[in-house]
Chains A and B, each alone.
Chain A
Amino acid sequence: EVQLVESGGGLVQPGGSLRLSCAVSGFTFSSYWMSWVRQAPGKGLEWVAKIKQDGSEKYYVDSVKGRFTISRDNAKNSLYLQMNSLRAEDTAVYSCARDWVGHCSGNNCYGAHDFWGQGTLVTVSS
């Protein structure tokens, strides 16, 4: 059974830091790109960042570039999100998600996030 379990959320003051973790089981973690997605209370989904299987490529949404760092430890089947210089607008439930490729046609591969964790709440407030 595929499981993604986040931890590390909590209350932090503006300007503070937090490190989120996502423990993965039930699939070969090192074979997949992984993403973080967040959802502010009562709001929609926002993709935050993704990381390649070996950690060599990382991408971020503009609003977190320079403040957040995604990383992974394939030996520990774990994904991380280091969040620095936190702002009130970063308040959200942060979920890890697997980037899955459904099928490829020619040079194009098509996929989506097929498994998600339940998320961990990050609240940025003084």
Chain B
Amino acid sequence: DIQMTQSPSSLSASVGDRVTITCRASQGISYHLAWYQQKPGKVPRLLIYAASTLQSGVPSRFSGSGSGTYFTLTISSLQPEDVATYYCQKFNSAPYTFGQGTQLEIK
């Protein structure tokens, strides 16, 4: 099965910073990659699908890029409400493996 590896596992940044989280697939998955945001005690929220398509209602400071085995999630200007754990997920074929998560905090 394809493994998904996120880095870093945790990240601390200041309000207004540009933040980038990476996700690597052990085999190529084309553009079949989704990103989710999960705040403590809440259900995951879909941010991006197809590697770079912003889900309706998601702020434009979030963006995704990549294809094949390397993907990134970027927050262009970090806001206090972005404190959360972020997960990537392959969505081409089962199993729909998630990355291990990146915990984002405000410095």
Contacts and interface: CB of A to CB of B under 8 A. Distances in A.
Nearest to B9: A44
A112 B87 contact: no
A115 to B, nearest CB: 9
| B-side interface size class | 20 to 34
Query: What does DSSP make chain A's interface, helix, strand, loop or mixed?
Result: strand
Contact of B96 (A35, A44, A95, A114): A35
Interface string B81-107: 000010101010011111111000000
A66 to B, nearest CB: 15
B42 to A, nearest CB: 9
Given A103-B53, A112-B46, A62 B1 contact: yes
A110 B32 contact: yes
Contact of A59 (B46, B49, B91, B94): B94
A47 B97 contact: yes
Interface centre among A35, A44, A60, A119 (most CB of B within 10 A): A44
B30 interface: yes
A102 to B, nearest CB: 5
Interface of A: 35, 44-47, 50, 59-62, 95, 102-103, 108, 110-114, 116-119
Which 5 pairs show the lowest CB-CB distances between chains A and B?
A59-B94, A110-B50, A112-B34, A112-B49, A47-B96
Given A47-B94, A62-B95, A117-B43, 6 more contacts: A62-B1, A103-B53, A110-B49, A110-B50, A112-B49, A116-B44
9 contacts: A44-B85, A44-B99, A46-B98, A59-B94, A102-B53, A112-B89, A113-B36, A113-B89, A114-B55
